[in-house]
Structure 1
């Protein structure tokens, strides 16, 4: 039996772009966006934890083959896809990835269906910052950034960039100031994150909630899973989405 056999497969289309989706659970909506190289077994395991906590989880498949593990071939294929696709921004500062618009549409659709104060949005690794881009839409009430790593921190400037246009950053700051906090998880020695947590703290102040761990590992809720991070995320969703 495959890890996704109990999930309902569907799709979402916005502005002519279609991606597969996988859905499971009941309760407020949470969109879980997979990391590189794709919807791996550890990503699915985390999503199952969110389902078990009483949420409707939708996982969009943006790249990679579902249920394939992390290996050199899957990593190489994923990096090739994201580096050439126009949907993603990996090496440019001051831009919001075009995929954010598609993800906002998915969030609006889920919120319209389920109601409540909004939906949760969680990205990880390269997709970690996508939840910030989604937060521009008021349908997103609980944005979570797990080790946000794009644009790739190959220069100091890129390592400080939040993957947002100036206009979107202004909206994110306003929403945070108006009571929509942002949760972030990371290992403090992770070089892929650059200085983004420092920038988020400067821009959002106390509305940026940090859950941090010592060391140079990377994937806080998947390959290098920390149960404290998982618990903090579930509590955040509970507080923000079940009001």
Structure 2
């Protein structure tokens, strides 16, 4: 098992340069089976994010883990992580604040879902976004191959706790698709998370109705042994399946991990989705 307190070389992943929509990104790919896109939280593809991706892979999926920000595999210092966060906030690819709808990078991610499905086959593709990328899996539902979206502590927009990083038109189109295809959106947060508060889950529930399944974990379920960036800048329980997950039987965060993998299995491994 790769240590979580030092940089992860990601040696069991193939680092591919994938060009879609005239933009090229590195995507770390590993496994066999239906495709699941794992999108990292701030400040990037950490050893904790890679651990989650390996769990998904080992459950019988091909994981596609795109590099969206930060140093791939790094345990970022508090200072380095803050710089990554600040750069992403002003990037034209991301819309960190309210009033602008979904981030432009989601168009590339929709194309990645289509690319992954074409390569891996099966009923469709799954995706999980975390923190900064949390809502991206919802925007990716505009791609027909996307069948299993998971939102882990969706944190954008940063300046409006009750808002969703999607336009009203996109939310309406996603809800119509969820209803038409009998699909659901799975989401997780900690009760005391300052970046993903109760108002945001309430907004999702209002927009998506009973197609939104929001799960709230007690703050006491969070791991307290966290890396430097989280110790300095993320001072409440936040990362459900990565940094704040406790890898012990009976732990609520481990149960959340298993629910998510089960959700992918039900949607992506069935003959008829």
TM-score, reference length from structure 1: 0.94
* TM-score, normalised relative to structure 2: 0.84
Q: Which has the larger radius of gyration?
A: 2
**Deviation of residue 3 (structure 1)?**
4.1
CA contact (8 A) 1:177 1:204 kept: no
Give the alignment partner of residue 227 of structure 1, picking from 254, 257, 264: 254
Query: d(CA) in 1 for partners of 2:20 and 2:92?
Result: 15
2:106 pairs with one of 100, 103, 111 = 100
Distance in 2 separating the partners of 1:45 and 1:77: 24
SS of equivalent to 1:159? coil
Counterpart Cα distance in 2 of 1:184 and 1:85: 26
The answer as to whether partners of 1:135 and 1:141 remain within 8 angstroms in 2 is: yes
1:19 aligns with 2:22: no
- May I ask how many residue pairs the two structures share in their alignment? 239
| SS of equivalent to 1:192 | coil
- Pairing 1:111–2:138 present: no
Residue 160 of structure 1 aligns to a residue whose secondary structure is coil
Q: Aligned-residue CA RMSD in angstroms? A: 1.4
1:203 to 204, 207, 226: 207
What is the distance in 2 between the residues matched to 1:231 and 1:76?
A: 31
Q: 2:195 aligns to what SS in structure 1?
A: helix
The alpha-carbon deviation at position 76 of structure 1 amounts to: 1.5
Residues 55-66 of structure 1 mapped to structure 2, 5 A cutoff: 55-66=61-72
Q: Give the C-alpha shift of residue 139 in structure 1.
A: 1.2
Alignment of 1:94-243 (within 5 A): 94-152=100-158, 154=159, 158-178=160-180, 179-194=182-197, 195-215=199-219, 216-225=236-245, 226-243=253-270
* Structure 1 partner of 2:55: 49
- Please give the secondary structure, in 1, of the residue aligned with 2:36: strand
- 8 Å contact from structure 2 (residues 172, 207) kept in 1: no
Question: SS state of the match for residue 117, structure 2?
Answer: helix
Ranges in structure 1 where 5+ consecutive residues have no aligned partner: none
Query: Matches of 1:80 and 1:191 in 2, distance apart?
Result: 18
User: Is residue 89–residue 97 contact of structure 1 (8 Å, CA) maintained in 2?
Assistant: yes
C-alpha deviation, 1:97, in angstroms: 0.5
Unaligned runs of 5+ in 2: 3-7, 220-235, 246-252
Where do 4+ consecutive residues of structure 1 move more than 4 Å? none
Matches of 1:72 and 1:6, distance apart in 2 = 27
